[in-house]
């Protein structure tokens, strides 16, 4: 069991740049895969051939980018129906989406847009998440996003908002540590205090990724390796809460599969050593 949990620290996001490799080779050291749900809304061809092969070899989880739990106009019922059909076909270990809004009036930004941290938003988002969980018949994880602007009407901190939504919706959290780091820099809050404030029992998954420095802000570009400061925050979380399924996201300048698997191995080793430190302290 302990070993299994440690293996769960070695996940990667499935990207089409690796389709050929994965069709021809074993996934190697990568213990599990995350797919972007909407990329599998079309029914066939090569993407599904790769997914069916991987599904037979490793656990797969579904990560959505378009549910829009924070959309003022509400989650689309049609979207939920399509997602439910996909869940039936993929049989994911769990599902997740983002704590953000993503469109208006039936249109999609295809982006993760920031919410104001108000009581109104907590109630609205939590009700939408409960609705989605009811329709899908399962609990979901919500991911904290990177952001570049805040709102004057916000009445609480980001981490207070995240925890309040999770408590009221009774959902899990996908803690993206790179997003915490990026937003902490952009808005001037303490990333360490943020990750410390997330209840251990709610953390169902962790994301790690690279970002880029744009001078006066950090940009969540997923275009390179995880930086040391993010690894340090990761260790801090694992030493507190124990092993958590962890996944490396890499979306631009995508490296070879071997390089990506190496990054996943690094997460696995760091998780193992943080767990040992935790056990020794206990």
Partner 1 sequence: MQQPDLAQLQRRFWRLITAPRGVEAGLDEIARRGDDPDARPLAAWLRGGVERLDIYANMYFYRLLDVLREDFARCEARVGADDFHDLVTDYLLAFPPDAPSLRALGERFADFIARHDIAREHPRLANLARYEWARVEVFDAADVATLALEQLAALAPDALPELPLQTVAAARVIDAPDGDGALLVWRRGFLVYERPLDAREAQLLPVLAQGRTFEALCQALHEQSGAAEIEAVQHIAQLVARWTGEQLLRDLQ
Sequence-ordered list of residues with C-beta below 8 angstroms from that of 81, at least 6 positions apart, any chain: none
> Of the candidates 5, 17, 29, 48, which one interacts with partner 1 according to CB under 8 A?
48
Could you tell me the two tokens for 230?
């993010």
User: Quick check: 161 binds partner 1 (CB under 8 A)?
Assistant: no
User: Quick check: 120 binds partner 1 (CB under 8 A)?
Assistant: yes
User: Quick check: 97 binds Fe ion (CB under 5 A)?
Assistant: no
Select the binding partner of residue 176 from Fe ion, partner 1, none (C-beta < 5 to 8 A, by kind): Fe ion
Nearest CA-CA partner of 62 in 132, 177, 140 = 140
CA distance 71 to 63: 18
User: Quick check: 63 binds Fe ion (CB under 5 A)?
Assistant: no
Contact 14, 249 (CB under 8 A): no
User: Quick check: 189 binds partner 1 (CB under 8 A)?
Assistant: no
Q: Report 147-176 residues binding Fe ion (CB under 5 A).
A: 176
Select the binding partner of residue 207 from Fe ion, partner 1, none (C-beta < 5 to 8 A, by kind): Fe ion
Stretch that binds partner 1, among 64-72, 166-174, 262-270, 272-280 (CB under 8 A): 64-72
Residue 36 neighbours by CB distance under 10 Å: 16
Beta carbon of residue 72, minimum distance to partner 1 (angstroms, whole number): 4
User: Which CB atom, from 178 or from 271, has the smaller least distance to Fe ion?
Assistant: 178
Q: What region, left, alpha or beta, does residue 249 occupy, with left being phi > 0 and alpha being psi -120 to 50 degrees?
A: beta
* Chain CA centroid to CA 216, Å: 25
Interaxial angle between packed helices 177-187 and 228-241, expressed in degrees from 0 to 180 and rounded to the nearest 10: 120
CA distance 221 to 159: 22
User: Quick check: 111 binds partner 1 (CB under 8 A)?
Assistant: yes
User: Quick check: 219 binds partner 1 (CB under 8 A)?
Assistant: yes
> Of the candidates 81, 89, 91, 151, which one interacts with partner 1 according to CB under 8 A?
151
| Size of the residue set binding Fe ion (CB under 5 A) | 2
User: Which CB atom, from 4 or from 42, has the smaller least distance to partner 1?
Assistant: 42
């Amino acid at each position: 069991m302990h070993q299994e949990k440690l293996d769960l620290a070695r996940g990667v996001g499935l990207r089409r740049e690796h389709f050929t490799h994965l069709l021809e080779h074993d996934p190697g050291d990568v213990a599990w895969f995350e797919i972007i749900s909407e990329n599998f809304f079309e029914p066939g061809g090569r993407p599904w051939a790769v997914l069916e092969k991987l599904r037979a070899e490793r656990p797969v989880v579904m990560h959505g980018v378009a549910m829009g739990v924070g959309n003022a106009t509400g989650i689309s019922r049609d979207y939920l129906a399509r997602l439910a059909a996909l869940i039936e076909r993929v049989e994911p270990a769990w599902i997740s989406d983002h704590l953000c809004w993503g469109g208006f009036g039936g249109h999609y930004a295809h982006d993760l847009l920031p919410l104001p941290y108000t009581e109104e938003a907590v109630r609205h988002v939590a009700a939408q998440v409960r609705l989605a969980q009811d329709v899908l018949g399962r609990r979901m994880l919500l991911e904290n996003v990177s952001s570049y602007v805040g709102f004057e009407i916000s009445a609480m901190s980001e981490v207070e908002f995240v925890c309040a939504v999770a408590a009221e919706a009774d959902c899990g959290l996908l803690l993206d540590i790179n997003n915490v780091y990026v937003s902490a820099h952009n808005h001037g809050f303490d990333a360490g205090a943020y990750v410390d404030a997330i209840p251990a029992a709610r953390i169902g998954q962790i994301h790690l990724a690279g970002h880029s420095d744009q001078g006066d802000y950090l940009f969540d570009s997923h275009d390179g390796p995880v930086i040391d400061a993010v690894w340090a925050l990761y260790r801090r979380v694992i030493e507190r809460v124990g092993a958590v399924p962890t996944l490396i996201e890499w979306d631009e300048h995508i490296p070879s599969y071997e390089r990506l698997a190496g990054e996943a191995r690094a997460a696995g080793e760091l998780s193992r050593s943080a767990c040992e430190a935790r056990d020794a302290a206990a």
